[in-house]
Amino acid sequence: DAKTTQPTSMDCAEGRAANLPCNHSTISGNEYVYWYRQIHSQGPQYIIHGLKNNETNEMASLIITEDRKSSTLILPHATLRDTAVYYCIEETSGSRLTFGEGTQLTVNP
């Protein structure tokens, strides 16, 4: 299974940008990178995905390096409600999400 590497935990001050890195060195040319998050006691929630260009939506921005071996999820103005485990996921064959252990982001007041 495709494997991504993320820091175990990160802290961020409320109102500041949260930048969550991910290494996906095994990614192939046509495979997307997906980001999901899981707030405590809830199911995972889709955030954003991308192939090679930077992407932005109402929740976040995704910056993918030119070699596509790593990416950064940016929450531009983190709030306390953004405290969650963030998962970076490589696309794999079959319609399944392969979650790693993710990054626990804690937003502090």
Partner 1 sequence: DAGVTQSPTHLIKTRGQHVTLRCSPISGHKSVSWYQQVLGQGPQFIFQYYEKEERGRGNFPDRFSARQFPNYSSELNVNALLLGDSALYLCASSLAGTYLYEQYFGPGTRLTVT
Beta bridge partners of 104: 9, 85
Residues 6+ apart with CB under 8 A from 34: 46, 48, 49, 88, 89, 90, 91, 97
Q: Minimum distance from CB of 53 to partner 1 (Å)?
A: 15
Q: Which of 30, 40, 53, 94 is in the footprint of partner 1 by CB under 8 A?
A: 94
Nearer to partner 1, 14 or 53 (CB): 53
The structure tokens listed for 73 are 């999820």
User: Per CB under 8 A, does 8 bind partner 1?
Assistant: no
Contacting positions for partner 1 (CB under 8 A):
32, 34, 41-46, 49, 85, 87, 89, 91, 94-102
